[in-house]
Structures are given as C-alpha cells and as structure tokens.
A = this chain, B = another copy of it.
C-alpha cells in the first residue's frame, strides 16, 4: 500500500497529523485528508511538500507573510 503519513510543520517541527493517508484534497484554504481506514480531517493549511517515496505529506499552517 502506498499511502503516506501527513505531518504539520509548525515552529520548525513536524507533528504527525494523520497516518496512512490515501486522499488529499485542497479546498479553498483548507486541506481535506482521508486515511485508508476512512478517518477524515480538514485543516486550515496548505501543502508544503510531498515526498512520496518516503511516504511523507508535509503541511503548513496558512499564516500572514512574515516581515523580516
């Protein structure tokens, strides 16, 4: 099976959001996730990066642009 784990990147760390994610659907500022077991979650985030060979989906919160 080729599902991936979804992580939320926040404060320079990755926290596990959902395991064994099958479907990922971006929806107007949110991401809908569905696992192979039918678990569902919607989060106000965007996709930062996918690494499919490593089974990783990295999301990040939608924030205002930082001013350095």
Q: Is the interface of A mostly helix, strand, loop or mixed?
A: strand
Contact A47 B49 (CB under 8 A): no
A1 close to chain B: CB less than 8 A: yes
A58 to chain B: closest residue by CB: B25
Contact A23 B50 (CB under 8 A): yes
Range for the number of chain A residues in contact with chain B: 20 to 34
Tell me whether A51 and B23 are in contact in the complex, defined as CB-CB below 8 angstroms, given that A2-B2, A2-B4 are known contacts: yes
Tell me whether A25 and B52 are in contact in the complex, defined as CB-CB below 8 angstroms, given that A2-B2, A2-B4, A4-B2 are known contacts: no
* Chain B residues whose C-beta falls within 8 Å of the C-beta of A55 in the assembled complex: 2
Tell me whether A52 and B52 are in contact in the complex, defined as CB-CB below 8 angstroms, given that A2-B4, A4-B2 are known contacts: yes
